[in-house]
Amino acid sequence: MKLVIDGRTVSAPEGSTVYAAARDNGVAIPTLCSHRRLAPYSACRVCLVSVKGRPGFHPSCSLAAVEGMEVTTDSAEIKALRRQIVELILSEHPSACLVCLEKKNCDEHKGTIRKVGETTGCVLCPGNKECELQEVAAKVGVDSVRFPAVFRDLEVKRRDPFFVQDYNLCILCGRCVRMCSEVRGASVISFVHRGPTAVVGTALDRSLAAAGCQFCGACVDACPTGALTERQVRSAGPAEEEAETLCPYCGVGCRLTAELRSGRLSAAVPADASPNEGQACVRGRFTLADAVNSPRRLLSPMVRKGGKLEPASWDEALAAAAEGLKAAQGQGCAMVLSGQASLEDLHALSKLGREVLRAGSIVSSMGPSILDGIAASGLPFPPAPSLADLAKASTVLVAGEDLAVTHPVAWISAFQAVSRGGRLLSVGSKDCRHDRHAAFRLKPRQGGEEAAFTLLAQALEGGSLSEACRSAGLPEDAVRGMAAELKADGPSVFIVGASLGSSKALSALLKLAALTKSAVLPLAEESNTRGLWTLLRGSGDAHALAGDLVAGKVRALYLAGPMSLPQDAKPGFLVVQDCFDGPSCARADVVLPAAAFAEAGGTFMNMEGRAQTAESALPLLVESKPDWWIASALAAKLGASGFGWTDRSAVRAELDAARVLEAPASVPAPAGPFAPRPSGTDYYRSLGLADASPDFRALRPGRKPSADGTGEGAAGRQDRVKDACRS
Amino acid sequence: MTSRLRDSAALEALRARVLEARKGFTHRVTVSSGTCGQAKGSGKLVSALRSAVRELGLEGRVSVTASGCHGFCDIEPVVLVGPLGVVYQRVDAGRARDILVETVQNGKVLDDLLYTDPRTGAKAAGTDGIPFYKAQRRVLTGANELVDPESVEDYLALGGYRGMAKALLTMKPEAVIAEVTQARLRGRGGAGFPTGRKWEFCRSSPGAVKYVVCNADEGDPGAYMDRSLLEGNPHSVIEGMVIGAFAIGASEGIVYVRNEYPMAVRNAGKAIARARELGLLGKDILGSGFDFDLRIFKGAGAFVCGEETSLMASIEGVRASPRQRPPFPAVKGLWGKPTNINNVETWANVPLILDRGADWFSGLGTEKSGGTKIFALVGKINNTGLVEVPMGLSLRQIVQDVGGGIKDGRPLKAVQTGGPSGGCIPASMLDIKVDYDTLAQAGSIMGSGGMIVVDDTTCMVDLANYFLHFTQEESCGKCVPCRLGTRQMAGILSRITKGLGEEDDIEKLESLAAAVKAGSLCGLGQTASNPVLTTIRHFRSEYEAHIREKRCPALVCKALLRFTIAADKCIACGLCRKACPVDAIAGKPKTPHVIAQEICVRCGACFEVCPPKAQAVVKSSGEAAGVRK
C-alpha cells in the first residue's frame, strides 16, 4: 500500500496505522499515550496529523492508513496545535526541567533540578532520565509554558511494595491502566473520578496489594513520566550500565536487561524480546537485585575444621572435598543439582557425578518435575508449544495452576489468546485468578481432577453423563459446554503445572489432550527444569535418595542444589555448593561458593524447549566461581581428565557435540513417581525471595519466612521431601 | 389481559375493541402528571378526581387519566377536560369535585381556574386560546395529553403500533430506510445527522448481530424533552425502535436511561413488559418473522455518557470514556458489533413517519430537516416549558409567541441554544430560522434542544464561565485538550469575572478555544468552546469592559460591583442596616445611611430590601463606580 506522508510517497503494510507507517519510514510523529503493546488510545492528542480531503485533525495512532492517502504531519498549524497541547500537559506537570534558565548546568551536573518550588519544579521527579514527556516537549519545541501551573497536590502513595505512585506527575496517558487490563488481564487499576480530578487508582482507593495487584511492574515500565517509579531506583539513582541477562527463577526464561550501578546489579527490567516481549513478573522485575546482593551470599569456600566451618582457600577447600568424596566414590555417593543452574554448569557437574564420582544417583533438588510426571504416564510425549503458539490458540485449558501468580508471563500469552477471541477453560479444585476470564470453569473436589478430565473425554465421545457428573459433583452443562469448546476447530493448548492433583490426573489430562489433538505446555518450575531433565535422563530417584539418606545408605552427598535435608538424614560426607548460606551449610563438611546467574551467565532451556544463552553481566562476587569451574577444578583434584575447560563456551561446545540437547530419540525414564506440590518459584537456589526482599514478603503474607531463616522456598521443599519419604 | 397478537388483524381487532369500549365515556379528565406535575401535587389531584368520580357515580362515563407532561411547566398541575378542550391551570386537589360537578356535569367553565394571558389579561378556556400552546405544533408532545403512559390501550387508541405493523408486514427494510430518508428526519440528539443515512450505514455493515440503542441520557442543564417523552409516551419510543431495528437488522435493543429519571425508567420498563406480553416485542412480532427485544440499562449519570462511544462503554460495564472514531458505532459498536444509536426524540418520530408518510413529515419542516423539534424553553421568559415547533420557525417566534416574551418586560439579550455545547445567539440575530444548519452557521448548535433565554441582567462572561465550569467538571478526563484546555479557559474566565482579567486574555481564550475544538477526542470537547467563542464574537465589549474597566455591564459579577446609598434618596428606614449580614451599613434615624465599602461583601441584601419608593441603594460597577483596578 502506498501513501504520501509530508509529500513523500512511502509504502506501508496493509492494516497499518498512519503512525506506524510514518515511523517505519523514518517520520517520527511525537506521541505520549501510544505504546507498542497497546491498542490505540488517542488520548494525548500529540500525534495529530491532517489528511487531505478530510476536515480537522486526526490522531495518527488510530488512523488507518489507506491507499493514496495524503498525510501532513508537520504543518505550521499542526505544530502550533501540538505545542499548545504539550503546554497544557505541562501546566499540571512540574516542568522546570524543561524551561528553567539553569537547565544546561543542571543537566550536566545533576540528574534533576532540585532548587525550584514544588508546584513547578522537579523536587517530586524521580529524575530517572526516562522521561518521555521531556523528550516530546523538546521535540515539539516547547520552551515556555504560557498557562499558569496547576498543582494537583495529591498524596504520594508509598503504601505498596516495590514502587511509588506519585500522580502529581501523571499525565493520564492511560498506559498503566491499559497495560494492566489489555496485556496482563488483571484490571487492578483504572481511572477514577472525572474532569480535572481524574486520576489513576483502584476501586475504593484500596492499596494495590489489597486490590489484587501482582506487582508485575508492567505499569512502571510503561509510564512515560516519573509517576510510577521503582523504589530501589528512586533511592539509588538511574543505571550507569546495562547488560542483557536471563531471569533465573521460573521456566518461562524471560529476557531481562540488568541495570548496573557501581558494578552491582541495581535493577532488572524486561527486554523487548521473545519470549517475554517486554513483560516480566514481580520476581524478575523487582527481586533480582535483592537476591544477587543478598547478605547471605557465600563469599569464600569453607572447610569444617574441628567441628567448625572456617573460611579456606579454593585449593584447600577443593582438596578437602576431593578427599572426602574419593572415599565414597561409587554407589554410596549421591549428587543433587539445581534446575536454576545453567546447562553448562549442569553438564559439568553431572559429568563429574557420573564419570568421576560414579554416583549412585544424581537427582534434581526439586525431585521429579512435571516432565517426569508426563514421562511416567507412558503416553507419547506431546511437543511443547511456544508461548507465541499459545497466544494464537483458539482454546486454552488451564489445569489447576494459578497461572497469573506462578507463571505470570505464560499467562500473558494465554490471555492474549483470550483477547483474540480464544476460549479459556479452567479445571481445578482451587480458585484461580484467571477464572474470571474463563468461558467454562470446572471445580472438582480436591483430588477430583482425574474424574473431571475423564468426564470431559466421555463427553467428547457422547453418551450419558448425568450419573458420572453427579458422583463427581460437577455440573453436567459445564462439562458438556467445555467438551463442545474442546471439540471446536482451531489449535488448542493445555497448560499443566506441578500442582495438578496426581499422576493419575495427569494421565487423564494427557489422554484428553491426545483425544482433542491439543498441544501440552508443561509449566517448568525452574529456569532450567527442562535442561536438567534432558541431561539427567532418569539418573536417579529423589524419593529413593531421601529414603537412603534417612536410612544412612549415603556415604557422601554432593549438594549442588538447594535440597533441605530432613532432620534425621545422615548424609555422610557433605559438600554444599550454593550461592547462599542456607541450613545445609550448617551440616556441610565443605562449602563451595557458586556464582549467581548474572555473574556466571550460561544457557538455559525454558519450558518451550528454547535454549537461551546469557553472557556474564556482572563481575564474580569475591571468591565465588561458576559451577562449571568448580566441577572442573574438583575433577582435576580427583585426578580425572576431560574436565580441562577454560571457559564456559568450551563446556557448551562439548555439550553440543554430544547432541544431548537435541530432541531425545526416546523419552527419558522418569526420576521416580511424580507427586503434586505447591508451585510458584519464589526462590533462587537456597534463597527464599521472602527472605531476600521485605517487599516480596509483604506481597505473599501467607508465606512467612521460617523461624530458622531458611526461607519458605527451602522450607516448602523440605516438606515435599518428607512427603516423598512417607509415600 | 390480552394474549399475544399474532398478526395485524389481531392488532386491529384489539384497537377496535379499545375504541368500542371507550364509546360509553362522555368525558375524559386528564391531569398532567410528569415529574414537574407530580412535584406540584398532581398525584393528590388525580386521587381526588377518581374518588369524586366514584362518589358522583360517574364511573363508566367519566375517565380520569394521569398523563405525561403537557409541557407548560409554569402552570402545573394542568387539568384538561375532554372532549370540551377546557384547560385548568394550577389546580388544587380540593377543586376536583368542582371540576366534575360544574364542568363535566353542568358544562360550566370555572373561570378562576383558567389561564390568564399576562400580556393581554384575557382568560383562555382551551389550548387554542393559550398563546403558549397555540403557536406550537405538538405532533409528538400532543400525545402526552391523551395517553396514560401505563396504558398501551391509550396508545393504540391514537393509532399506536400501526406504523410498526405497516413496516414489518408490508415493507422491506430498505423501503423503511428510504421512507425515513425521504422524511428528512435528522438526529435530535444534537449533531443532526440524517437518520436514514445512519441506519443505512449500520444496515450495510457486515455482521449477524446488531444492536439498536435509545440514548436517553439527557444531560444538558435545563433540557428535559427526552424525559418528558419517555415518561409520557414510552410506547412511541418502543415502536420507533422496533421499526429501526427491523430496518437495520438488529434483534436486540437497549434503552440507556439515566437513573436520575426514575419515572422514565419505571414507565419505560412497564411499557416494555406490556409490549412483550402483547407480542409487540419478542419473537415473531405480529407474525412478521422478525424477532426483537428491548431492555433498559440505567446510566449512573455522567454528562459524557450521552456521547455515543462513552454510552456504549458504559453499557459494556467499563468506564464511560469515549473512543476515537472511526471505527464508527455503525461498524464497530457495542461489544464490537454494528450498533445504531438514536436519541429518544428521534425514535419517537419514527412511528409517525411510517404511519403518516414521509411527505407529511417533511412537509412540517424545512428543505433540509423534516418534522418538528422540541425545545426546553427556560430562562428569563414568561412561559417556561417544553415547546414543540416545526423546524424553520424563527427564534423570534419561539421567544415572543410561544414563550410570551421576556419576564418583566426587560429587553432580550441573547438565546443560548444547545446547552453547554452550544452557543449564544444575540438579540440582533433573532430572526434566524431555527434548524441545524442555520444555528451551526451562527456558531451554535441545535443540540438536544435546550434554549436558555437571557435578558440584560445576565452577564455573558459569567454565562460562558458557568458553561465552561460545567464542561470542565463533566469532561471524562481522557484527552488532554478537553481535560486541561477547558480548565485553563475556565480559569481565565473566572479571573475575568473577578476583575483580574489581563489585556491578552481574550486572545488567549480564542487560541485555547480553537485548540480544544480542533484537538479534542469527542463531541464534548469539540463543542465545549462554543459558549466562549460565541460570547466573544457577539459580546466582545462585555469582555473588554470586565478586563479594561473592571466593570460588569450586567451588574452580575460580584467582585466588580459596588453598592452605595444615595444620600438624597435615603429615607433612613434602617431596613438595609438590619439586612446587612456583615454590619457594613451605618446610620441613625433621620440620617442617610452609608455603606462601608471595605466591609461590604457585595451580597446585594441592601439592594433587595430598599423600599421601592426610595430606591436609594445603587448597584454600580466599573471604575466610575470606584471599583479598584
Write out the three cell numbers for A612: 537461551
Residue of chain B with shortest Cα separation from A60: B324
* CB < 8 Å to A88, chain B: 480-481, 484-485, 488, 515
The pLDDT assigned to A115 comes to 46
Q: Which of A64, A85, A146 faces B480 most closely, judged by CB atoms? A: A85
Q: Which residue has the cell 537456589?
A: A685
What are the tens digits of pLDDT across the range A449-481? 999 999 999 999 887 889 999 999 999 999 999
The pLDDT assigned to B1 comes to 53
Instruction: With CB atoms and an 8 Å threshold, state whether B519 touches A150.
Output: no
Residue A85 contacts B, CB cutoff 8 Å: yes
To the nearest whole Å, the CA of B485 is away from the closest chain A CA by 7
* CB < 8 Å to B519, chain A: 45, 48, 57, 81, 84-85
The pLDDT assigned to A719 comes to 43
Residue of chain A with shortest Cα separation from B509: A147
Instruction: With CB atoms and an 8 Å threshold, state whether A198 touches B480.
Output: no
Nearest to A624 by CA among A561, A565, A581: A581
To the nearest whole Å, the CA of A98 is away from the closest chain B CA by 19
Is residue B566 within 8 A of residue B620, CB to CB? The reply is no
The pLDDT assigned to A107 comes to 64
Q: In angstroms, rounded to a whole number, what is the distance separating the alpha carbons of residues A702 and A129?
A: 37
The DSSP secondary-structure symbol of B43 reads H
Question: What is the pLDDT averaged over residues A537-552?
Answer: 87
What 3-state DSSP class applies to A545?
helix
Residue of B510 and A98 predicted with greater confidence? B510
* CB < 8 Å to A15, chain B: none
Instruction: With CB atoms and an 8 Å threshold, state whether B474 touches A193.
Output: no
Instruction: With CB atoms and an 8 Å threshold, state whether A174 touches B511.
Output: no
Q: Which residue has the cell 469592559?
A: B545
The DSSP secondary-structure symbol of B300 reads -
Q: Mutation test of the interface with chain B: which of A47, A91, A194, A197, choosing the one with the most B Cβ atoms within 10 A?
A: A194
Asked whether the CA dihedral A186, A179, A247, A231 is positive or negative, the reply is negative
Distances (CA, A) of B385 to B41, B89, B364, B376, B446: 17, 14, 21, 6, 17
What are the tens digits of pLDDT across the range B80-131? 998 888 999 999 999 999 999 999 999 999 999 999 988 888 898 888 888 8
Please report the residues numbered 465 through 524 in chain A whose beta carbons come closer than 8 angstroms to any beta carbon of chain B.
Answer: none
Residue A91 contacts B, CB cutoff 8 Å: yes
Q: Which of B324, B481, B485 faces A40 most closely, judged by CB atoms? A: B324
> With 60 as the cut, is the pLDDT of residue A698 above it?
yes
Question: What is the pLDDT averaged over residues A557-586?
Answer: 92
Backbone angles phi, psi at A667, to 5 degrees: -70, 130
What does pTM read for this prediction?
Answer: 0.91
What are the tens digits of pLDDT across the range A706-718? 433 333 344 344 4
What is the band of A408 on the pLDDT scale with cuts at 50, 70, 90?
Answer: very high
The pLDDT assigned to B120 comes to 84
Write out the three cell numbers for A164: 511509588
Is residue A206 within 8 A of residue A189, CB to CB? The reply is no
* CB < 8 Å to B485, chain A: 88
Q: Which of A48, A56, A195 faces B477 most closely, judged by CB atoms? A: A195
Q: Which of B474, B518, B521 faces A195 most closely, judged by CB atoms? A: B474
Write out the three cell numbers for B297: 440499562
* CB < 8 Å to A194, chain B: 302, 304, 473-477
Q: Count of CB contacts below 8 A, A vs B?
A: 93
The pLDDT assigned to B74 comes to 87
To the nearest whole Å, the CA of A54 is away from the closest chain B CA by 13
B507 contacts: CB under 8 Å, gap ≥ 6: none
Residue type, A576: V
Q: How many CA atoms lie within 13 A of A414 on its CB side?
A: 30
The pLDDT assigned to A727 comes to 36
* CB < 8 Å to B326, chain A: 64
Question: What is the pLDDT averaged over residues B593-598?
Answer: 94
Instruction: With CB atoms and an 8 Å threshold, state whether A45 touches B519.
Output: yes
Question: What was the ipTM of the complex prediction?
Answer: 0.92
**Summary mean pLDDT of chain B:** 93
Is residue B474 within 8 A of residue A194, CB to CB? The reply is yes
Is residue B198 within 8 A of residue B116, CB to CB? The reply is no
Crossing angle of helices A314-328 and A627-637, rounded to 10°: 70
Q: Which residue has the cell 418502543?
A: B238
> With 70 as the cut, is the pLDDT of residue B250 above it?
yes
User: H or E stretch including A425?
Assistant: strand A423-427
Residue of B524 and A673 predicted with greater confidence? B524
> With 70 as the cut, is the pLDDT of residue B286 above it?
yes
Instruction: With CB atoms and an 8 Å threshold, state whether A45 touches B521.
Output: yes
- For B170, other C-beta atoms within 10 Å of its C-beta total 10
% chain B with pLDDT above 90: 87
What is the band of A95 on the pLDDT scale with cuts at 50, 70, 90?
Answer: confident
The pLDDT assigned to B576 comes to 94
What single string gives the DSSP state of each residue in B75-92? Answer: GPSPEEEETTTEEE-S--
* CB < 8 Å to A136, chain B: none
CA-atom Rg of chain A in angstroms: 28
The DSSP secondary-structure symbol of B414 reads E
Q: Which of A46, A62, A91 faces B484 most closely, judged by CB atoms? A: A91
Question: What is the pLDDT averaged over residues B439-459?
Answer: 91
What are the tens digits of pLDDT across the range A165-202? 999 999 999 999 999 999 999 999 999 999 889 999 99
Q: In angstroms, rounded to a whole number, what is the distance separating the alpha carbons of residues A69 and A121?
A: 43
A50 forms beta bridges with A57, A72
Write out the three cell numbers for A650: 568450551
Lowest mean pLDDT among B290-299, B328-337, B435-444, B531-540: B435-444
Is residue B420 within 8 A of residue B533, CB to CB? The reply is no
The pLDDT assigned to A378 comes to 80
Residue type, A617: A
Residue of chain A with shortest Cα separation from B474: A195
> With 60 as the cut, is the pLDDT of residue B166 above it?
yes
Write out the three cell numbers for A230: 521503582
Residue A419 contacts B, CB cutoff 8 Å: no
The pLDDT assigned to A718 comes to 41
Write out the three cell numbers for B302: 455522567
The pLDDT assigned to B118 comes to 82
> With 80 as the cut, is the pLDDT of residue A4 above it?
yes
* CB < 8 Å to B304, chain A: 194
Residue of A699 and A351 predicted with greater confidence? A351
Residue A47 contacts B, CB cutoff 8 Å: no
What are the tens digits of pLDDT across the range B334-360? 999 999 999 999 999 999 999 999 999
Residue type, B249: G
Cα B549 to its chain centre, rounded Å, is 37
B145 contacts: CB under 8 Å, gap ≥ 6: B30, B32, B67, B70, B80, B138
Residues in chain A, how many?
727
Residue A89 contacts B, CB cutoff 8 Å: yes
The pLDDT assigned to B61 comes to 93
Give the CA angle between residues A281, A284, A289 to the nearest 5°.
Answer: 140
What 3-state DSSP class applies to B541?
helix
Residue of chain A with shortest Cα separation from B472: A195
Residue of chain B with shortest Cα separation from A203: B319
> With 80 as the cut, is the pLDDT of residue A665 above it?
no
Parallel, antiparallel, or unpaired: how do β-strands B293-299 and B252-258 relate?
parallel
Write out the three cell numbers for A474: 460437577
Residue type, B379: G
> With 90 as the cut, is the pLDDT of residue B78 above it?
yes
What is the band of A24 on the pLDDT scale with cuts at 50, 70, 90?
Answer: very high
Residue of chain B with shortest Cα separation from A147: B488
Nearest to B49 by CA among B64, B37, B59: B64
User: H or E stretch including A266?
Assistant: strand A264-270
Write out the three cell numbers for A289: 537485585
Instruction: With CB atoms and an 8 Å threshold, state whether B324 touches A42.
Output: yes
To the nearest whole Å, the CA of A276 is away from the closest chain B CA by 28
Q: Is B80 exposed, middle or buried (0-12, 13-18, 19+ CB in 10 A)?
A: buried
Is residue A97 within 8 A of residue A116, CB to CB? The reply is no
Residue A201 contacts B, CB cutoff 8 Å: no
